[in-house]
Amino acid sequence: MKKISPYKYHGSISSCGSKSHAQRILILALISRSSLFIKNFIIEEIGTDVQHVLKVCEQLGFTYKQEPDGIQFIAPNSLLIHPESNFNIGESGFALRTLSTVLSALTDSYVLEGEKTILNRDHKGLIESLKNIGFEVNADNNKLPLKISKSESFPSIIEIDGSEGSQFISGIMMRSLTSQIDTEIRIKNMTSRPYIDLTIKTIEQFNGKVNRANDSTYVIPGGQFLKIENVILEGDWSNMAFHMVGAALNGEIVISGVSTLSTQADKIILDVLKKFGAEIEIEKSTKIKVSSALKNPFQMDLTNAPDLFPVLAVLACGANGVSIIQGTHRLVNKESNRLQSICNMLDVFKVNYQSIAHELHINGRGRVNGGNVKTYDDHRIAMAAICAGTIADNAIIIDNEECINKSYKNYFKQMDVIF
């Protein structure tokens, strides 16, 4: 439990490393068996999602050494893996959906298990996707652990329904890099395209190739040799969005280490803040200053960037008028039922809203009431509630601050600088 008194943003911070980028780098290093230096990868700062992927790599024989500005990641001479090995992915949905296929390049059978919130999530969609491409999966009531084995060779043509997100697609792309023949991936109902673009960009950093046949079809050439010696971990737009919104609501912040050239989906936070009326200054594409100015209501479709929903709900509370945020269908089966979690938070804040079809209409009045916010052990709900302290009339109390470690381990250390 943590109490947040009303506060104002002021100060400068450096972005933590991107969780999305870090996980992709580690998985590609794993399948390519590469030793490399990952700049900006600081163990004490990364969240538990990345730490669990790192532990999977360690379980397979990889080691690392922390240097002042990153880690030296060292591949073993031979991987340490046995059939039906158990791998703990913690609460990481990305690790679950990608490693569910990627590990088949290393062994014929394996078990994926997890912790905390992910144990309550229904993985029916993932299980069906795996079975559709020839995997055998055993699970009780579509919950973890998943016992996975491949009953046939990895297919050369794969059709995927992307309506539930991009993570399984990213896993298929990375797994296809290990095939000796070309793999054609056909996607219908594609969502979260920026995350697919991030996967492709990271593959290209490893000197891999992904060819786009058309808007929804990709071809992964067979027989590729992946290799890289140095890679720079990007800053995290998803986590820095909370600080940018806080400053747009009340105060100012200077953030270094996030690139406007990134393919990360949550970079669209800049577009939202411009609509809101915040002042934004960008220096050399990697240093951004956000200051509070106007507080206009806004409209934004978050179908491709659903992680921004909690913090943009808070931004909408700070606007003067009705904001419309689209894409609520992407909020089910996250760390919590995020639509319900957000609505419960808005109830505590005494802010009027309507959930209509796939939209959330929030009637902002520039302020929120304080009160007790239930996080449902969801890191993004916790940080959104804390962000609302910038426009709160009274203290906000969250029931679990530890859940923030999932994605942003040094969050409170950086908040101490901002207060």
Task: Give whole-number Cα distances, 96 to 46, 90, 344, 376, in Å.
Answer: 18, 9, 28, 21
Please give the pLDDT value at position 301.
97
The share of the chain scoring above pLDDT 70, in percent, equals 100
How many angstroms separate the most distant Cα atoms in the chain?
A: 62
What distance in Å separates the CA atoms of residue 315 and residue 292, rounded to the nearest whole number? 11
What distance in Å separates the CA atoms of residue 339 and residue 88, rounded to the nearest whole number? 28
In the numeric block, the tokens 């089910």 are attached to 332
Strands of 151-216 (E only): list them. 157-161, 183-188, 211-214
What distance in Å separates the CA atoms of residue 255 and residue 257, rounded to the nearest whole number? 7
Q: Is the dihedral of CA 213, 215, 216, 220 positive or negative?
A: positive
Query: Which 3 state secondary structure label does DSSP give 385?
Result: helix
* Mean pLDDT score, 292-300: 98
The one-letter code for the residue type at 190 is: M
Please give the pLDDT value at position 152.
77
Please give the pLDDT value at position 151.
73
* Mean pLDDT score, 117-141: 95
Q: Which residues are registered as beta bridge partners of 159? A: 186
Q: Which helix (H) or strand (E) holds 91?
A: none
* Mean pLDDT score, 290-319: 97
What distance in Å separates the CA atoms of residue 37 and residue 204, rounded to the nearest whole number? 16
- Among the listed residues 404, 391, 395, 402, the one whose alpha carbon sits nearest the alpha carbon of residue 373: 395
Please give the pLDDT value at position 270.
98
Query: Which 3 state secondary structure label does DSSP give 25?
Result: helix
pLDDT tens sequence across 360-369: 999 999 999 9
H-state helical runs in 162-234: 167-176, 193-205
Query: Which 3 state secondary structure label does DSSP give 211?
Result: strand
* Mean pLDDT score, 265-293: 96
Has this prediction a pTM greater than 0.85? yes
In the numeric block, the tokens 């931004």 are attached to 315
What distance in Å separates the CA atoms of residue 2 and residue 399, rounded to the nearest whole number? 7
User: Cβ(158)–Cβ(184) under 8 Å?
Assistant: yes
Query: 10 Å Cβ neighbour count for 264?
Result: 25
Task: Decide if pLDDT at 280 tops 80.
Answer: yes
In the numeric block, the tokens 């998943």 are attached to 146
Residue 400's pLDDT band, with cuts at 50, 70 and 90, is very high
The one-letter code for the residue type at 34 is: S
Residue 160's pLDDT band, with cuts at 50, 70 and 90, is very high
Contacts of 141 by beta carbon, 8 Å cutoff, 6+ apart: none
**Mean pLDDT, rounded, of the chain:** 95
* Mean pLDDT score, 180-197: 94
Task: Decide if pLDDT at 335 tops 80.
Answer: no
Name the least confident of 76-85, 128-137, 248-257. 76-85
Query: Which 3 state secondary structure label does DSSP give 217?
Result: strand
Cα 158 to chain centroid, rounded: 25
**How many residues are listed for the chain in this entry?**
419
Helices 48-59 and 93-102 meet at what angle, rounded to 10?
Answer: 30
Task: Decide if pLDDT at 333 tops 70.
Answer: no
H-state helical runs in 14-47: 19-32
Name the least confident of 185-194, 235-244, 267-276, 308-317. 185-194
In the numeric block, the tokens 């101490």 are attached to 416
Residue 170 structure tokens: 């990213």
Q: Which residues are registered as beta bridge partners of 137? A: 148
Residue 336's pLDDT band, with cuts at 50, 70 and 90, is confident
